[in-house]
Amino acid sequence: MCGIAAIIHTGGAPVDESALRAMMRAMKHRGPDDEGVLLSGNAGLGFVRLGILDLSSNGHQPMTSADGRFTIIYNGEIFNYIELREELRAKGHVFRTGTDTEVLLAAYAEWGRDMLHRLNGMWAFILLDVKERALFCARDRYGIKPFYHCADGDRILIASDPTAILAVLGRKPLPDHGAILNFLAFNRTDQDAGSFFQGITKLPHGHFARIDLGRPAIDPERWYYLRERLREPLGGPEDFLQLLTDAVALRLRSDVPVGICLSGGLDSASIACLLAGDLRRKDVRTFSAVYGQGRKGDESGFIALLKDRLTDMHATRPDEQGLMDDLDDLTRTQCEPVPSTSIYAQYRVMRLAHEHVTVTLDGQGADELLGGYDYFFGFHFKQLLRQGKALGLAKEVAMHARLHRTSFGLRSLAFFMLPASLRARARMVEKGYIHPEFVRAHMDRTARVAQDLYGSRTVRDALLDHFEHKLEHLLKWADRNSMRFSVEARMPFLDHRLVEQVIPMAERWFIHRGMTKQLLREAMRGRLPEAIRTRADKMGFETPEADWFRSPGFRALIQDMLHSTRFAQRGIVDVGKAQRMYADHLAGRSDRSRDIWKLIHLEKWFTHFID
């Protein structure tokens, strides 16, 4: 895992190396072990390295092919690089290093852009072809690794992180108000190629771009679309277990220590138990966030159930004072607003992991793959209703109510049955603190989110829509948190072989009898403690944020913000309604901690990056 940067002069002028190195300095945390630069006419490539495979200088980048034609800078890991290397050796390629980077170079020389379909991993890379005077840029299937670009006068700037672009941007950054409205109304970011900064755009996941250095421009082309890549479904839990175990094993390939982020939930605990059991890695280190028994978000009781299987477990205890102390660094790390303090819990876990390992395994993607979110019951009920299965719907609603003691599934159904425009308007009514003029000015962007994420007709459609429009913001937060502490995060549930063969499976393997993730629960029967395997709740990296925001320190911070002239002048929030919302929260009349946090972090973001 590393950081890549590039500058391309559209007018043909040579690249200023000092600007390229300024971009590299802005993301040195992504690659503290080594760095390199290549200048080639009107293009410059910069790289900062975090050594994972072949820790010697052989892994230095930019890396050039033996014939001098191709040079690559690359962020990510190709987990099947050993198998690809053997296939390429049989075709006559000679390898001088033990890196997956060299395998990428040879694969491109052999297969061109078609090599992307052979890769199992996560990546964002730029490959210079000096013969064609062109750059080939590509990003992985689901957006695990980042790729940002920006037109800045006569330059195109490319980097792994917006902060690297901001370091050399020839103008003051401006906020994208449509992104801000989606963030406040739907808790969503990254549902399209934009960012919170006007003009800074992502190369979409599953896309590539060929840049002709004679006439430079970035015109993305899709090379992977999940809906068109679905395969024959797996036969059942045994097939799933076999493939998941292989996905975990592949992601253990490393020349540095590997650990696991362990929340105590079904996903990460399954990975941990496969490591300790089937893969005989009881010594793997685990890293968790805990808060004390009985507090919201505390998973220590479930984590303790794994102590007889794992021998090197570590925990951190985030609290309100820690969040206040870390708030500025968290804001700089994420460099865009985040909708939940759970991202801070993950930040703390990665800080802890940095003390012990360089690679972690993570359960990200399991909810999108297996229908794990609570509101997926709404899609399930909607599908049964549309199919006319009244009895089945009644049974599922009753089971859901009994197990979860909530009407959330039915409320989700009611929301999903609304037309997209009404879904957006309903959310604006719910988020009454957003200024009505701000809503009117940017409502069109919100209607698209309402359709893309909440208009699905079936559970399978919802899974596909979430891979296309939701998953990436989780991956972005994980990437930035892990890279802040020079740690590489790997996600076994996002092995494309799993994704392409699980999503076509019958709906009963996703939601059935009031429970989500039935496929994983059945696959882990006998391998996972029953108290974890049969959990009906979903936690993840939750925090006791409701209590935190009633503490004296946060009370002062929030009151100062809500009464500041600058906050009011932004025109985003109806200040009076926001003040009343916080008063209700302080009095315990409601829990508005999620909305309060979004206002805190949005204002921090403005202060750090825009003002």
Condensed to tens digits (0 to 9), the pLDDT of residues 219-253 reads 999 999 999 999 999 999 999 999 999 999 999 99
| Residue 453 clears pLDDT 90, i.e. is over it | no
Instruction: Give yes or no for a contact between 290 and 300, defined as CB atoms under 8 angstroms apart.
Output: yes
Q: Over range 526-537, report the average pLDDT.
A: 94
Return the pLDDT at 1.
66
Instruction: Give yes or no for a contact between 140 and 98, defined as CB atoms under 8 angstroms apart.
Output: no
Pairing of strands 359-361, 258-261: parallel
Collapsing DSSP states into helix, strand and coil, what is residue 475?
helix
Please indicate whether residue 273 is annotated as part of the active site. Answer: no
CATH number of the structural domain 2-224: 3.60.20.10
- Which element (helix H / strand E) includes 125? strand 121-129
- Sorting pLDDT into bands at 50, 70 and 90, what band is 538? low
Return the pLDDT at 472.
96
Return the pLDDT at 451.
78
Lowest-pLDDT choice from 144-148, 216-220, 278-282, 580-584 = 278-282
Question: Which own/partner contact pairs does 91-98 have at CB distance under 8 Å and 24+ positions apart?
Answer: 94/66, 96/58, 96/66, 97/54, 97/56, 97/58, 97/59, 98/53, 98/54, 98/58, 98/255
Question: Domain map of the chain by residue range?
Answer: 2-224, 228-370+471-533, 376-468, 545-610
Nearest to 19 by CA among 39, 49, 1, 41: 39
The predicted model scores a pTM of 0.95
End-to-end distance of the chain based on CA atoms, in angstroms? 32
DSSP string, 320-365: HHHHHHHHHHHHHHH-S--S-THHHHHHHHHHHHHTT-SEEE--TT
Q: Over range 543-564, report the average pLDDT.
A: 97
Return the pLDDT at 540.
59
Q: How many helices (H) and strands (E) does the chain have?
A: 26, 19
Return the pLDDT at 539.
58
Quick one: what percent of the chain has pLDDT higher than 70?
A: 99
Domain 228-370+471-533: top CATH class: alpha beta
Q: Which tokens belong to 376?
A: 């997926």
The residue written with tokens 């990428």 in the block is: 104
CA torsion, points 123, 129, 132, 138, in degrees to nearest 10? 0
The predicted-structure confidence for 356-381, as pLDDT tens digits, reads as follows 999 999 999 999 999 999 889 998 88
Q: Over range 109-126, report the average pLDDT.
A: 98
Q: How many Å separate Cα 215 from the centre of its chain?
A: 33
DSSP string, 382-399: HHHHHTT-HHHHHHHHHH
Q: Over range 500-516, report the average pLDDT.
A: 95
